[in-house]
Amino acid sequence: MSRKFFVCGNWKMNGDKASLGELMKTLNSAKVDPSVEVVCGSPAVYLDFVRSTLDAKFGVAAQNCYKVAKGAFTGEISPAMIKDCGAHWVILGHSERRHVFGESDELIGKKTAHVLENGLRVVACVGEKLEEREAGITEKVVFAQTKFFADNVKDWSKVVLAYEPVWAIGTGRTAPPQQAQEVHEKLREWLRANVSEAVGDSVRIIYGGSVTGGTCKELGGQKDIDGFLVGGASLKPEFIDIINAKQ
Ligand code: PGA
């Protein structure tokens, strides 16, 4: 089954109108593989600006949102607001949300359900910490995190699963391609067994954690790696090489 390669930039809390404007100018004029789906994860305050500046062939994602439509939740944003800015994706369960801001699996699950009910799509992130890998419980951890997503997803065609080992994020320590492939394959098996064969076959599972222009080709060549979630390198022209990893 062919799964459309998916590359999502995660700009995190970086950039300003000037630098992101420059970056988008570079992206808009770049030669990008038309068979790849590309999405840029913008800081919430710039969603409108990014959507109106970025070429329509690129999708736009928010990096987080809250679990309800509106109300007295100072500082939060809702899927409805994200949609109102013209964006169609939300990144949920990112390791920084889990481990810096203490988001629980339960909260991430509720956000997922609410985002999907509002017609947006989700980049659903899972990944083990270094001590969890060293303790040999990587699968247990990522399966448990995936279950919280699965319990809140009705239509998996609206979800991309992102495997991001925490120890590889922002560290320059990309997971060895074989090792990443192993986890992707296990996640696919888990989806086959716990959701359905069809979902296991069709869901895109992308890798994140220090992906660069140098590491993307070998990673992208793995059977179960269907694209990337890219932090640091998504702020550089190098992002174009990552988009074109399969060429
Ligand atoms: P990185 O970030 O590419 O800078 O490691 C990836 C991510 O956090 O999504």
In tens, the pLDDT along 136-182 reads 999 999 999 999 999 999 999 999 999 999 999 999 999 999 999 99
Structure-token pair, residue 233: 């390198």
Tell me the average pLDDT of the chain. Answer: 98
Question: Quick check: 232 pLDDT over 70?
Answer: yes
Mean pLDDT confidence for 94-100: 98
Report the DSSP beta bridge partners of residue 167: none
Count of domains for the chain: 1
Is residue 246, in this structure, part of any structural domain at all? no
Look up tokens 């800081």; give the residue: 43
Q: Under a CB-based contact definition with an 8 Å cutoff, are residues 7 and 39 in contact?
A: yes
**Of all residues in the chain, what percent carry a pLDDT higher than 90?**
99
Does the model's pTM come out above 0.95? Answer: yes
Atom of ligand 1 nearest to the CA of 171: 5
Q: CA 37, 207, 129, 147 torsion: positive or negative?
A: positive
Is residue 1, in this structure, part of any structural domain at all? no
pLDDT at 219: 98
pLDDT at 1: 59
| CATH number for the domain harbouring residue 91 | 3.20.20.70
Is residue 222, in this structure, part of any structural domain at all? yes
Atom of ligand 1 nearest to the CA of 234: 3
Give me ligand 1 centre to Cα 158, in Å: 22
- Nearest-angstrom CA–CA distance, 41 and 15: 12
Question: Quick check: 217 pLDDT over 70?
Answer: yes
For 89, the 3-state DSSP assignment is strand
Question: Could you tell me the residue range of the domain that residue 192 belongs to?
Answer: 6-239
Is residue 37, in this structure, part of any structural domain at all? yes
Kindly indicate the confidence band of residue 2, based on its pLDDT and cuts at 50, 70 and 90. confident
Question: Quick check: 128 pLDDT over 90?
Answer: yes
Among 188, 120, 194, 203, smallest CA distance to 151 is for: 194
Q: What is the phi/psi pair of residue 10, to 5°? A: -125, 100
Using most ligand atoms within 8 A of CB, pick from 89, 95, 229, 242 the residue to mutate for ligand 1.
Answer: 229
pLDDT in tens, 32-60: 999 999 999 999 999 999 999 999 999 99
Q: Under a CB-based contact definition with an 8 Å cutoff, are residues 100 and 150 in contact?
A: no
Is residue 247, in this structure, part of any structural domain at all? no
Protein residues with CB under 6 Å of any ligand 1 atom: 10, 164, 169-170, 208-211, 229-233
Is residue 164, in this structure, part of any structural domain at all? yes
- What Cα–Cα distance (Å) separates residue 16 from each residue in 1, 22, 44, 94? 40, 10, 12, 22
Report the DSSP beta bridge partners of residue 206: 162
Is residue 245, in this structure, part of any structural domain at all? no
Cα first-last separation, the chain: 19
Is residue 75, in this structure, part of any structural domain at all? yes
Atom of ligand 1 nearest to the CA of 162: 9
